[in-house]
Amino acid sequence: MNTLLDGLFNLRGQAALVTGGSRGIGLAIAHALGGAGARVVIVARRAEWLAPAEGALREAGVTCAAFSADVADAEQVARTVAAAKAAVGDLSILVNAAGRTWGAPAETMPVERWREVIEANATGAFLMCQAVGRGMIARRYGRILNVASVAGLAGSPPEILAASGYAASKGALIALTRALAVEWARHGVTVNAIAPGFIPTRMAEAVIERAGQALLDRIPLGRVGEVEDLLGAVLCLVSPSGGYITGQVLAVDGGMTAA
Choosing from 166, 170, 242, 256, the catalytic residue is 166
166 is known as an active-site residue: yes
Contact 241, 190 (CB under 8 A): no
75 vs 106: CA distance, rounded Å: 32
Contact 17, 95 (CB under 8 A): yes
CA atoms within 13 A on the CB side of 24: 21
Contact 40, 88 (CB under 8 A): yes
Q: Where are the alpha helices (DSSP H) in 89-190?
A: 111-118, 124-139, 164-184
Q: Which DSSP string do the residues of 208-251 spell out, in sequence order?
A: HHHHTHHHHTT-TTSS---THHHHHHHHHHHSGGGTT--S-EEE
Catalytic residue set: 166
